[in-house]
Amino acid sequence: MEVCTVGGYEEVGKNMTAVKIGEDVFLFDMGLNIPGIVELQEEDLLDYASRAKNEGGQKKEVKRRNTQPTEQKLREFGAIPDDRILDKMGWRDKVRAIFISHAHLDHVGAVPYLINRYPRVPIFGSPFTMKFLETILENERVPFNNPLKTVQPNSNHVIKGKSGSYPVDFIHTTHSTLDCVFLALHTPEGVFFYALDLKFDNHPTMGAPPNYKKMKELGKKKVKVLVMDALYSGTEKKPGSETIARQLVEDSIAKVRGSHGALFITTFSSHIERLNSIVEFGKKTGREIIFLGRSLNKYVSVAMDIKKCPFKNDVKLVKYRKQINSTLGRIEKHRDKYIVVCTGHQAEENSILDRIVGGETPFKFREGDNLIFASSIIPVSINIAAREKMDNKLKRLGVRLQKDVHVHGHGSREDMRDLIRMLKPKHIVPSHGTLQQEIPLVEVASEFGYKFGETSHLSSNGKLLHLD
């Protein structure tokens, strides 16, 4: 089996892996890259790309349509996987299918920029993922002729290739958005198993725990290669279930009870489970719940479309800049009547929260207001500095902050051990991180007898692995 580790093997971002069996090639994920950022949402990401080009770094309104990045620019900045390696190896024309694991931009975000290089190749994903992909394709106004194939989690689909037919399992798993799947490609040489992103939550607040039964079944067959999310392979302690985040959300909202100040909650826009918890306990306050911003609106609309948005009648979506401002003006006057949910928890420049704290909107934070961060600081220096500045400003204004109302979405060593135990793969290939983040998984694998350079591997972007 030949595996080309196209992207995501030297960074957190732009995930893409290609597998070749005979004359047939399969692609897994096609994501965007934001250096060092684990989970990123669409709006932030495009802003980032735009800002990166404005070298001066001035703060100005980003005109989206005018700044849409070209493929060339994106490659120059390393923002998309460098799939030209497939041309070089003669693999591009052999691609039979593209599989998307879940709806995060570091897994699906590069599709609009690369899809035309793979004409007519069908793209497969779960309902939430595919609906989200449709949305970003529409937004980017990309013409394309690829069939978009929606597959239910825990179902199977057969892909016909030149050298044979390949059943693919779409295996339900948990992470931090809806409808995440692991992918198992059955080949004559054994199963290629793609486990990005990895987190085993046995107590999710929406949907079922991961489909361990299927994984154990596969483990009894021959799993040849396991490509797996190694991001937290250096961490022993389990991250905790989303149930825990639900409790933390409950407690944090309960503390605000009785306050006559405003209440803002900032979190990840793709995290429907988290948003659901926020709405569930938010409703009990009697305040009206408003979701502010394009990114939130996009993910929530997708969840509604696929009928997986339990809170669809409980929130008001406000999407456009103009509406946002008028809404914020109303909140300024009746601050104890609303809960505002928005993005901006990393204090990203130009995010809604950044603009509010910067005094650029009709709403101004003041003594007695409340802000809950249903997130953690992603530990890169730019975020740490930006949040420190923002938090200090908010504290001086007298805003009550509640931070770290969060559990993150990547499993640690114990989840990796579980997966290895279930699948018993011949080869393990760590992914989804820098080399330093991936190498501890080699150590974990060695506990099970995997030998580095023989059955456990460390790859790099664009490298070809021949795995026997």
Which residues lie across from 401 on neighbouring strands? Answer: 371
Tell me how far apart the alpha carbons of residues 229 and 129 are, in angstroms, rounded to a whole number: 18
Q: Taking a C-beta distance cutoff of 8 angstroms, is the pair 341, 290 a contact?
A: yes
User: Looking only at residues 106 through 135 of this chain, which bind its own copies when binding is defined by CB under 8 A?
Assistant: none
Asked if 402 touches its own copies (CB under 8 A), the answer is yes
What residues contact residue 260 under an 8 Å CB cut-off, 6+ apart? 335, 336, 368
The stretch near its own copies (CB under 8 A) out of 67-75, 91-99, 242-250, 269-277 is 242-250
Asked if 458 touches its own copies (CB under 8 A), the answer is yes
Please return the burial class of 59, using the count of CB atoms within 10 Å of its CB with bins 0-12, 13-18 and 19+: middle
Asked if 251 touches its own copies (CB under 8 A), the answer is yes
Asked if 233 touches its own copies (CB under 8 A), the answer is no
Residue 270 Cβ, how far from its own copies at the closest point, in Å?
A: 23
Residue 442 Cβ, how far from its own copies at the closest point, in Å?
A: 6
String marking each residue 191-230 x if it binds its own copies according to CB under 8 A: -----------xx---------------------------
Among 250, 288, 314, 336, binds its own copies (CB under 8 A): 250
Nearer to its own copies, 56 or 143 (CB): 56
Residue 27 Cβ, how far from its own copies at the closest point, in Å?
A: 20
Nearer to its own copies, 58 or 70 (CB): 58
β-strands 338-342, 263-266 pairing = parallel
What residues contact residue 65 under an 8 Å CB cut-off, 6+ apart? none
Per the rule left: phi > 0, alpha: psi between -120 and 50, beta: everything else, 440 is: alpha
Residue 401 Cβ, how far from its own copies at the closest point, in Å?
A: 10
Among 152, 165, 326, 460, binds its own copies (CB under 8 A): 460
Asked if 52 touches its own copies (CB under 8 A), the answer is no
Please return the burial class of 179, using the count of CB atoms within 10 Å of its CB with bins 0-12, 13-18 and 19+: buried
Among 247, 259, 276, 355, binds its own copies (CB under 8 A): 247
DSSP string for 398-458: TPEEE------S--BHHHHHHHHHHH--SEEEEESB-HHHHHHHHHHHHHTT--BTTTB--
What residues contact residue 231 under an 8 Å CB cut-off, 6+ apart? 12, 38, 197, 410, 432, 433, 437
The stretch near its own copies (CB under 8 A) out of 133-141, 165-173, 188-196, 238-246 is 238-246
Nearer to its own copies, 203 or 366 (CB): 203
Task: State which H helix or E strand residue 251 sits in.
Answer: helix 242-256
Asked if 76 touches its own copies (CB under 8 A), the answer is no
Please return the burial class of 143, using the count of CB atoms within 10 Å of its CB with bins 0-12, 13-18 and 19+: exposed
# binding residues, its own copies (CB under 8 A): 50
Asked if 381 touches its own copies (CB under 8 A), the answer is yes
The stretch near its own copies (CB under 8 A) out of 70-78, 99-107, 362-370, 379-387 is 379-387
Asked if 237 touches its own copies (CB under 8 A), the answer is yes
What residues contact residue 130 under an 8 Å CB cut-off, 6+ apart? 100, 123, 148, 149, 150
Tell me how far apart the alpha carbons of residues 354 and 293 are, in angstroms, rounded to a whole number: 13
Reduce the DSSP state of residue 295 to 3 states and report it: helix
Task: State which H helix or E strand residue 245 sits in.
Answer: helix 242-256
Q: Taking a C-beta distance cutoff of 8 angstroms, is the pair 335, 262 a contact?
A: yes
Among 171, 223, 248, 249, binds its own copies (CB under 8 A): 248
Among 75, 157, 222, 403, binds its own copies (CB under 8 A): 403
What number of residues does the chain have?
468
| Full strand arrangement of the beta sheet holding 370-373 | 315-318, 288-292, 338-342, 263-266, 370-373, 400-402
The stretch near its own copies (CB under 8 A) out of 42-50, 56-64, 112-120, 325-333 is 56-64
Residue 451 Cβ, how far from its own copies at the closest point, in Å?
A: 7
Asked if 404 touches its own copies (CB under 8 A), the answer is yes
String marking each residue 338-367 x if it binds its own copies according to CB under 8 A: --------------------xx--------
Asked if 23 touches its own copies (CB under 8 A), the answer is no
Residue 234 Cβ, how far from its own copies at the closest point, in Å?
A: 9
Please return the burial class of 21, using the count of CB atoms within 10 Å of its CB with bins 0-12, 13-18 and 19+: buried
Asked if 236 touches its own copies (CB under 8 A), the answer is yes
Tell me how far apart the alpha carbons of residues 402 and 5 are, in angstroms, rounded to a whole number: 40
Task: State which H helix or E strand residue 226 sits in.
Answer: strand 223-229
Asked if 394 touches its own copies (CB under 8 A), the answer is no
Among 68, 283, 414, 467, binds its own copies (CB under 8 A): 414
Reduce the DSSP state of residue 332 to 3 states and report it: helix
User: Which residues form the interface with its own copies (CB under 8 A)?
Assistant: 10, 55-56, 58-59, 202-203, 236-238, 240-241, 243-244, 247-248, 250-251, 254-255, 358-359, 381-382, 384-386, 388-389, 395, 402-404, 414, 418, 435-436, 439-440, 442-443, 447, 451-454, 458-460, 463
